[in-house]
Amino acid sequence: MNSLKQTKSPSATAGPASLLFIISLIISMIGIFAGIFFLFVNPGTAIVVVTLLLVSGVGILSFLRHSVYYRSDQARMGWSQEHPEFQIEVGFANLAIGLAALIAIVLNMGPLAYGMALLTYALYLLCTLVLHAWEAMYSKEMRKRAVQSTFNTGLFTLFLLLFAVMAFMQV
């Protein structure tokens, strides 16, 4: 974390990344509520909807935010970095998982593939959850943001894991 400083980036505005983050939150809420709704109507549809919105939608938007608009994302988070490669790499990881889920849906690969996409994204985010929790405990300057990120990421990860289990139960 030596190249990561908690300062505003003078060369970028947080606007585009903030908008992408808000859209991701909205898609997440829609995905969770639609998933819960469809569980009572058609559990198979619930898993497809959740995979499409929570993994593909959020993953692809996260790629855009972290990789394409990385300077804006740095400004949104109050970061300044000399080498943003790790942030761009995080975006590519989100894109890979999001596209794999989208391909599974387009090819109608079934609940096992959807469950694996949900589980993969959940495990990936579980790792970020550990990082956010560490920051919340040990970084005074990042504590407020890290506590909020820990809560949000934890809740999102929990829903991904629950729907992954439900998908595996359909196999």
Q: Show the beta-strand stretches assigned E in 45-158.
A: 80-81
Estimate the share of the chain in helix, then strand, then coil, as percent rounded to the nearest 5: 80, 0, 15
What is the Cα–Cα distance from 13 to 53, expressed in whole angstroms? 27
Whether 116 has a pLDDT exceeding 90, the answer reads: yes
Give residue 28's pLDDT band: very low, low, confident or very high (50, 70, 90).
very high
Q: Calculate mean pLDDT across residues 39-53.
A: 97
Tell me the percentage of the chain whose pLDDT exceeds 90: 81
Structure tokens that stand for 171 in this block: 């196999």
**Tens of pLDDT along 55-94?**
999 999 999 999 999 999 998 888 778 888 989 999 999 9
Q: Inform me whether the pLDDT recorded for 166 exceeds 90.
A: yes
85 contact partners, CB below 8 Å, separation of at least 6 = none
Q: CA distances (Å), 129 to each of 29, 34, 133, in order?
A: 19, 24, 6
Name the phi and psi angles at 167, rounded to 5. Answer: -65, -45
